[in-house]
Amino acid sequence: MGTEKFLSQVKEVLSTFDPITLEEMDSVKLMDRKDLKFNFSIRHLPEFLAAVRDQYRSLEVGGTRMSRYETLYYDTPDYDLYKVHHNGKPARFKIRVRKYVESDLKFFEVKHKNNKGRTLKTRVKKKKDGHEISGSSLELLQEKTGMGQDNLEPKLWVNYTRITLVNRYDEERLTIDLDLEVISDNSTFKFDGLVIVEAKMSKLHVTPFVKLLKDKHIREGGMSKYCMAVSKLVPDLKHNNFKPKLIKVDKILHETDVA
């Protein structure tokens, strides 16, 4: 019930931002970038948005400022891509199909974090339904990772609602994800009230939203939504290295619950 109240306030504040279209966002695609991640409770989001309204524009697609994303993640049968991340290897991949629900567009994506800490994302439009990796998707997979269709299988869904803000004066894009729900064949978990912010920029520096979060004593640090999903839905896999972050997320969920 508390989450619904804050979500309504978020929509109200967001409606006061100047809009930006997808076409206007072409200059800030940032497929090669540095990322900063933050997690906090949705109870703080209306205040934070209002404080940076003059510095950012809000992406509007089809008349909406909040878009639903559904993402299917692939991994090896033994979750090797997850394990590389869990074990702290700097170079790692995520393989996924992302659906933009409102526009019904689907993309096959390869996301590579290299050993210099940069995030490189490449994607192709997915025209066929189904979970098979073929055609241009398979070509991209082989080119970027050296893996083939036989190395991977669909593992789980990560679904959420996304707000995208674009800095008026700097090369920065903010994604603010809400209503996170993770789904496997056997179970579902909802992260009610959790806000996941990623500040994406060509080089790391303090931007208005990042400064605001630091001034509010919200520390940088988050974990991948895929790794959060695996940790919740596949309990037999090791997640010791993620425990501090998972404990922080649980505290945020509790904070929202009692608001």
Burial class (CB in 10 A: 0-12, 13-18, 19+), 159: buried
pLDDT at 257 over 60: yes
Tally of domains within the chain? 1
118 pLDDT band (50/70/90 cuts)?
A: confident
The predicted model gives 208-215 an average pLDDT of: 96
**Which residue shows structure tokens 């508390």?**
2
102 pLDDT band (50/70/90 cuts)?
A: confident
SS3 helix, strand, coil % of the chain, rounded to 5? 30, 35, 30
Q: Return the pLDDT at 116.
A: 81
Kind plus residue range of the DSSP H or E element containing 157: strand 153-167
Please report, for the domain that includes residue 169, its CATH number.
Answer: 2.40.320.10
The predicted model gives 194-210 an average pLDDT of: 90
Of 31-40, 71-80, 84-93, 249-258, where does the model show the most confidence?
A: 71-80
Q: Can you give the pTM of this predicted structure?
A: 0.92
pLDDT at 94 over 60: yes
150 pLDDT band (50/70/90 cuts)?
A: very high
222 pLDDT band (50/70/90 cuts)?
A: confident
State which residues form the domain around 170: 2-257
Q: Return the pLDDT at 204.
A: 77
pLDDT at 103 over 60: yes
